[in-house]
Copies of this chain bind each other. A is one copy, B any other.
Amino acid sequence: MTDDAQGRPQVAATIYAVADRARVSIATVSRVLAGSARVTEATRRKVLAAVDDLDYLPSGAARSLAARRHHTLGLVLPELGGPYYAELLAGFETRAAELQQGVMLVIAGHARASTSAVRSLATRVDGIAVLGCDLEQLRAGTKKVVLIAGDDDPDVEVIATENLDSSRRLTNHVLGHGRSRLLFVGDPGAAHDVRERFDGFVAAHVGAGLEPAQPVLASFRESEGQGVAERIIAGDLRADALVCGNDELALAIMAGLLRAGVDVPGDISVVGWDDVMTSRYVRPGLTTVRQPVRDVGALAADRLHQLVTGAAREPDRHVLPTEVVIRGSCGCPENASAPDLDLPTLPHPQKVRVR
B341 contacts A223, C-beta separation under 8 Å = yes
A120 touches B102 (CB 8 A): yes
User: In this complex, what residue of B is CB-closest to A108?
Assistant: B97
Q: What 0/1 pattern do residues 248 to 267 of A give for CB contact below 8 A with B?
A: 10011001101100000000
Hey, which bits of chain A sit against chain B, CB under 8 A? 6, 8-12, 55, 57-65, 70, 72, 79-83, 85-87, 89-90, 93-94, 97, 100, 102-107, 109, 113, 117, 119-124, 140-143, 155, 187, 214, 216-218, 221-224, 226-228, 231, 236-237, 248, 251-252, 255-256, 258-259, 276-278, 281-283, 336-339, 341, 346, 348-355
Q: How far is the CA of A86 from the CA of B86 in the complex (A)?
A: 6
Q: Are B59 and A123 in contact (CB under 8 A)?
A: yes
Please determine whether B337 and A57 come into contact, CB atoms closer than 8 angstroms: no
Question: Contact at A102–B102, with CB atoms within 8 Å?
Answer: no
Closest to A140 in B: B55
Q: Which residues of B contact A58 (CB under 8 A)?
A: 123
Q: Is the CB of A222 within 8 A of B341?
A: yes
7 closest residue pairs by CB, A with B: A259-B338, A61-B64, A60-B124, A227-B352, A60-B123, A86-B86, A80-B90
28 A-B pairs with CB atoms under 8 Å apart are A57-B141, A57-B143, A60-B124, A61-B63, A61-B65, A80-B86, A80-B87, A80-B89, A81-B86, A85-B86, A89-B105, A90-B107, A97-B106, A97-B113, A102-B124, A103-B105, A104-B104, A217-B353, A221-B346, A222-B346, A223-B346, A223-B350, A224-B352, A226-B341, A226-B350, A281-B282, A282-B282, A283-B283
